[in-house]
């Protein structure tokens, strides 16, 4: 399975944008880039996914590099509730299970 | 609340005892997954079902572990002869369709083996 590399932790101030990076240099053409997050004492929740083009939804934006070897999850205006572990995951359409890494622990400072 | 429920939320048991966890997925979801998460790590895949058929089992799922989904609705995960190394959060997720579709996770069952 292709792997991703994320910083162990990041800090951001409340009400400011947050850019969470992910490197996936061995990504293949059929790999989708998925992001999940896990709030304290909860199960993971889906955030966003994309293949080649940048994607936006109500939770976040996903910016994908032109060569697809890296991507950035963007939280436009962080709140304290966004403090969580964020997982960047590569998934192929035929694969049903999710392979999680350690993710990035995001701390939001009030 | 994602619509996936798990019971119990917490379980403390003594080494050697058997435990059973239950997961109720979102009703129209035909795929159900079990994951295990230890402290500081991401969740690890254990097994998954499509309807009542168990389609894949991880090597992490030793002979002491068994999972069922008898009517294609709720699922149970049983651990026999628990060991301290089984202490973890057990997460259930469900999804519709196949392939890399969004999975909806429950809150998990935290198992502590003393």
Of B41, B48, B100, Cβ closest to residue A93: B100
> Which pLDDT score, from 0 to 100, does residue B100 have?
73
CB B23 within 8 A of CB B5: yes
- Pairwise CA distance, residues B113 & A31, whole Å: 38
Segment B58-112, tens digit of pLDDT: 998 889 999 999 988 999 999 999 999 999 999 999 998 776 789 999 999 999 9
Pick from A97, A104, A100, A73: which is nearest to A89 by CA? Answer: A100
Between the CA atoms of B107, A101, A57 and B3, what dihedral angle is there, to the nearest 10 degrees? Answer: -20
A97–B56 C-beta distance less than 8 A: yes
> A25 falls in which pLDDT band (50, 70, 90)?
very high
The answer to whether residue B2 scores a pLDDT higher than 90 is no
- Pairwise CA distance, residues B22 & A68, whole Å: 40
Encode chain B in three state secondary structure. Answer: CCCCEEECCEEEECCCCCEEEEEECCCCCCEEEEEEECCCCCCEEEEEEECCEEEEECCCCCCCEEEECCCCCCEEEEECCCCHHHCEEEEEEEECCCCCCCCEECCCEEEEEC
- Pairwise CA distance, residues B46 & A5, whole Å: 23
> Which pLDDT score, from 0 to 100, does residue A2 have?
57
Please name the residue of chain B whose CA is at the shortest distance from the CA of residue A100. Answer: B42
The mean pLDDT of chain A is: 94
Between the CA atoms of A85, A86, A92 and A95, what dihedral angle is there, to the nearest 10 degrees? Answer: 20
What residues does A73 pair with on adjacent strands? A20, A62
B4–A95 C-beta distance less than 8 A: no
Segment A59-98, tens digit of pLDDT: 999 999 999 999 999 999 999 999 999 999 999 877 788 9
A-chain residues near B93 (CB < 8 A): 43-44
Segment B37-62, tens digit of pLDDT: 999 999 999 999 999 999 999 998 88
Backbone φ, ψ for residue B95 (5° rounding): -155, 165
Map residue A69 onto helix, strand or coil. coil
Neighbours of B82 (CB within 10 A): 21
């Amino acid at each position: 399975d292709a792997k991703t590399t994320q910083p162990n932790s990041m800090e951001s101030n409340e009400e400011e944008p947050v850019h969470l990076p992910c490197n996936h240099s061995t990504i293949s053409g059929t790999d989708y880039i998925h992001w999940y997050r896990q709030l304290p004492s909860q199960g993971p929740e889906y955030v966003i996914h994309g293949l080649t083009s940048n994607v936006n939804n109500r939770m976040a934006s996903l910016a994908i590099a032109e060569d697809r070897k890296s991507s950035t999850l963007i939280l436009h205006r962080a709140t304290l509730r966004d403090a969580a572990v964020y997982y960047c995951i590569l998934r192929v359409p035929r694969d049903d299970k999710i392979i999680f890494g350690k993710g990035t622990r995001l701390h939001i400072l009030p | 609340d994602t619509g996936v429920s798990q019971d119990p939320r917490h379980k403390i048991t003594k080494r050697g005892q058997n435990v059973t966890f239950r997961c109720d997925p979102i009703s129209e979801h035909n795929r159900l997954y079990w994951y295990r998460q230890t402290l500081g790590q991401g969740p690890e895949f254990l097994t998954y079902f499509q309807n009542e058929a168990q389609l894949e089992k991880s090597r992490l799922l030793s002979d002491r572990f068994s999972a069922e989904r008898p009517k294609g609705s709720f699922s149970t995960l049983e651990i026999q002869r628990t060991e301290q190394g089984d202490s973890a959060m057990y997460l259930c997720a469900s999804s519709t369709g196949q392939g890399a579709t969004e999975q909806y996770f429950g809150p998990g069952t935290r198992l502590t083996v003393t």
